[in-house]
Amino acid sequence: MVTITPFKALRPEAQLAKQVASRPYDVLNSKEAKVEAQGNSYSFLHITKAEIGLPETTDVHAGEVYEKAKENLTAFISRNILFRENKPCYYIYRLTMNGRSQAGLVCASSVDDYENGLVKKHEFTRPDKELDRINHIKITGAQTGNVFLAYRTVAAIDAVINGWMHDKNPQYDFITDDNIQHSIWIVSDDDTIANITHLFKTEVPATYIADGHHRAASAAKVRAALGAVATENSNFFLTTLFPSNQLFIMDYNRLVKDLNGFNADEFLQKCSAHFSIEPQEEAYRPEEPHYFGMYLGAQWYKLYAAPATYNENDPIAVLDISILQQLILEPILNIKDQRTDARIDFVGGIRGLAELEKRVDSGDMAVAFSIYPVSIDQLLAVADSGEVMPPKSTWFEPKLRDGLLTHLID
């Protein structure tokens, strides 16, 4: 069973919450972050993407970037933009997009649980990305990035969270420019806090990382690096826990730069060995598993992979991303490792199929594939099996905003 704890969040004054809240650091490059924060001195991007306040030639992993982040965080506190809660609390974070809501519990999760496999993973991490977050946490003394966790739904937990939202007013409630509503409640009642802690300890056998593998791994490595001087707060990391039945996973599509020496007709012929292929009059987004869209030469096609081409009893092999890898990407296009091959790129479904068309029509890419989304049940099954999903398998929307609730490790 899992261990969670309330914490004293560093958070903005209510009237500044919308200005402070920023998109996660890892969905923006430095140029995009600079544009987004322009004219907003309250944006939390000044802390999570501190290079935007330094010369453009600055290496984003240079020590001065992390020192600038620390300087800006200190300034936000001294300017009374951010303040620290006076007692440990839980927080409820509700996201509403296109009329659909999901509500999660913001808390601190145990690093011990992460290291002992009670916080389950489904993808590998990259050392360079880990090091970036390790340096950011160590120098700022803050976990600014939230780890998005799922757990199998528990009715008693739902009742507590839904009851609190019904009976109380949110501390923050605003709509961002992308038309997503962010609402946060503070759970400060001692009895309710104790009840929530007990329910997770007795009713939730494991949590699952949906988004934030690098943030979780970095928190654990910072704790290890601190050694004898580790604080009690460094034994925990910032998380938001969502019941699995509320989560929405979007497609995560693929683009490939060339056809590995084949012309379009030859490539189609190669693909037809394992797929039925039908031309489409408009952009094709798969509506069920094992169907794929393919955009090639200004033409969309619908591809179907018959059951004989994959193992339905294997939690990895049955994923459409795995089927694409095994039947097209590796044997035809010679892409053996999606993590390292520079010829492949990934586009989250939030950008739409028009982005795939744009990249191919421009000549930047030769072919695009639209893929049916991984289901939450598939994600949990892979994590439970101890296996690892292919890279860029899941795109969760909507995303939590940085800056609203920060966990200090001092």
Give me the residue label for tokens 């095994």: 326
Average pLDDT of the chain is 95
Closest CA to 408 of 143, 62, 133, 230: 143
| Token code pair at residue 206 | 């494991």
The amino acid at 275: F
pLDDT tens digit sequence for 269-298: 999 999 999 999 999 999 999 999 999 999
Spatial separation of the C-alpha atoms in residues 140 and 70, rounded to whole Å = 5
Adjacent-strand bridge partners of 277: 303
Which structural domains are found in the chain, ordered by start?
4-248+397-408 (no CATH), 252-372 (3.30.1760)
What pLDDT score was predicted for residue 359? 97
Return the pLDDT at 125. Answer: 83
Query: Could you report the per-residue pLDDT of 324-368, keeping only the tens digit for each?
Result: 999 999 999 999 999 889 999 999 888 899 999 999 999 999 999
- DSSP readout, 297-321? TTEEEEEEE-GGGS-TTSTTTTSHH
> Alpha carbon 380 to chain centroid distance?
15
Name the residue with tokens 């938001």: 240
Neighbours of 180 (CB within 10 A): 16
Residue 51 has pLDDT above 90, yes or no: yes
The predicted pLDDT at position 390 comes to 83
Q: Which residue has the tokens 């988004």?
A: 211
pLDDT single digits (tens) 129-164: 899 999 999 999 999 999 999 999 999 999 999 999
Residue 338 neighbours by CB under 8 Å, 6+ apart: 325, 329, 344, 390, 391, 392
Buried b (16+ CB within 10 A) or exposed e, 309-339: ebeeeebbebbbbbbbbebbbeebbebeebe
Q: Which two structure tokens, joined as six digits, stand for 297?
A: 């030469």
pLDDT of residue 340: 85
Q: Which residues pair with 254 in a beta bridge?
A: 346, 369
**pLDDT tens digits, one per residue of 94-135:** 999 999 999 999 999 999 999 999 999 988 888 888 999 999
Cβ pair 69, 47 in contact under 8 A: yes
Confidence band for 393, pLDDT divided at 50, 70 and 90: confident
Helix 155-167 to helix 190-203 angle (10° resolution) is 160
Place of tokens 């010829």: 343
Is 103 within 8 Å of 92 (Cβ atoms)? yes
pLDDT at 350: 83
CA-based radius of gyration for the chain: 22
